Amino acid sequence: MYSQFIKELIDLPDVLIQKVRKEEERWIFELSLPEQCPLCPVCLKRTIKMTGKKKQWMHGYAQRIGIFWIELPVERRRCGTCGATFSTSYPGIPPRSVATNAFQRWVAQSCIGTSIQAVARMLKLPYTTVERWFYTHAPSFLSNDIQPKAVCVDEFAFRKGHDYGVAVMDADTGEVYAIEEGKNEEAIGRALAHVSRSVQVVVSDLAPAMKRAIQEICPEATHVVDYFHVIQLFTNALERCRKYLDKGGKKHGNVRYVCRLLSQCPEKLTEE
């Protein structure tokens, strides 16, 4: 009964549960595979173990326990026949990630109906990690029968500087409707195609690719430019203006004064 409970908690086929230990605040299930010789991925012949170490992955969450981890041996092995070397790996457990696929999916699912920030705080995980898992796994469980009226479209990075994606969200609720890989006009078009039947307003930044994709896929919709980006344009222009005037040098205080006036609320300004 007790071991069946742990088996279902871990829910990984074929693994053997050796024992569970607590290291500082972390509960760790020590797992292993049935004794066997992994075959060479190139020629399918017998292989020899060169080095071995243990690696841990986040795998589940329980009230009062927090995140619990699994630990599995990772071996570096060499083929006795062709000499190829490789590391042992396990299905559903990405070797370079800190968490199993099952845990990443659960975290992504937890974000729905709340926010990425709230989930990151509850699990004490970095915001960017939860965000990456959300955008990786959310597309697989997003609903198909959606008819939003107003959406935001924006690009984001799966990994900063490497893999980009385009997300389409509800402008009011922030619910994610579609995610597509890439950030060019074609990717934006693919993402918008999910909502193009019903959408009447599309909010985006000022990128020309956004404008072209919106005109192409949602020609009937009104294109609204995100106010954040408009304010950014305005402050940039103000800054350029200030630098230009600054070149005169002498009337420094005067320029500062004009800048302050320009960035005030109109209601606060007096006649002078």
Binding site residues, Zn ion, CB under 5 A = 40, 42-43, 45, 79, 81-82, 84
Of 10 and 79, which has the nearer Cβ to Zn ion?
A: 79
Length of the chain: 272
Report the distance separating Cα 193 and Cα 196, nearest Å. Answer: 5
E strands, 80-117, in order: 85-87
Of 82 and 269, which has the nearer Cβ to Zn ion?
A: 82
Supply the minimum distance, in Å, between the C-beta of residue 154 and Zn ion.
47
E strands, 63-194, in order: 66-79, 85-87, 150-157, 164-170, 176-181
Find the helix or strand (DSSP H, E) in which 262 lies: helix 252-262
Beta 201-204 vs 176-181: how paired, if at all? unpaired
Of 44 and 206, which has the nearer Cβ to Zn ion?
A: 44
Instruction: Please give, one letter per residue, the 3-state secondary structure of 182-214.
Output: CCCHHHHHHHHHCCCCCCCEEEECCCHHHHHHH
From residue 208, give the alpha-carbon distance in Å to each of 104, 115, 157, 205: 34, 30, 19, 9
Supply the minimum distance, in Å, between the C-beta of residue 85 and Zn ion.
10
Strand partners of residue 62 = 66
Of 84 and 193, which has the nearer Cβ to Zn ion?
A: 84
Beta 150-157 vs 201-204: how paired, if at all? parallel
Supply the minimum distance, in Å, between the C-beta of residue 74 and Zn ion.
19
Supply the minimum distance, in Å, between the C-beta of residue 82 and Zn ion.
3
Supply the minimum distance, in Å, between the C-beta of residue 86 and Zn ion.
9
Of 81 and 128, which has the nearer Cβ to Zn ion?
A: 81
Of 62 and 82, which has the nearer Cβ to Zn ion?
A: 82
Supply the minimum distance, in Å, between the C-beta of residue 40 and Zn ion.
3
